[in-house]
Structure 1
């Protein structure tokens, strides 16, 4: 697969990942954190704000293509 096509597909996947992840994280927060103390809400948003990086790293590595030998 050409590198330009791989980067285009990866860009679309990254945007979809961020949008879907943000919506799911907000739904979970609204349904479960409404009556929780502030520190629990802080920890949730801290973790949910950084966990999306893991699948994003996989997409970015795939976008870069195979490593040159």
Structure 2
């Protein structure tokens, strides 16, 4: 456990906020044009995958925020 605060945590949180906002805006802008005419049950898996895909890089990012190591 660390005794001193580190700059990586606030910078990482701001970066995560910016990245998720950009990702959400891109999804909201372009995906409805591609699948907007599909039936709702066909759209649901696409949005489910897109809603979960941002979690893939999150583990490494959180490790970097806590330790400063990328691997």
Structure 1 SS opposite 2:56 = helix
> Match of 1:45?
47
Matched positions, count? 66
Structure with more contact order per residue of length (Cα contacts < 8 Å, sep ≥ 6): 1
CA distance in 2 between partners of 1:18 and 1:65 (Å): 22
Query: What's the TM-score, normalizing by structure 2?
Result: 0.78
Would the aligned equivalents of 1:33 and 1:41 in 2 still touch at CA under 8 Å?
yes
CA RMSD, Structure 1 to Structure 2 (Å):
1.9
Unpaired segments ≥5 residues, structure 2: none
Question: TM-score, normalising length from structure 1?
Answer: 0.79
Q: Which of 13, 23, 38 is the aligned partner of 1:11?
A: 13
Greater helix fraction, Structure 1 or Structure 2: 1
Q: Are positions 1:32 and 2:39 aligned together?
A: no
Deviating 4+ runs (over 4 angstroms): none
Give the Cα separation in 2 of the matches to 1:56 and 1:20. Answer: 15
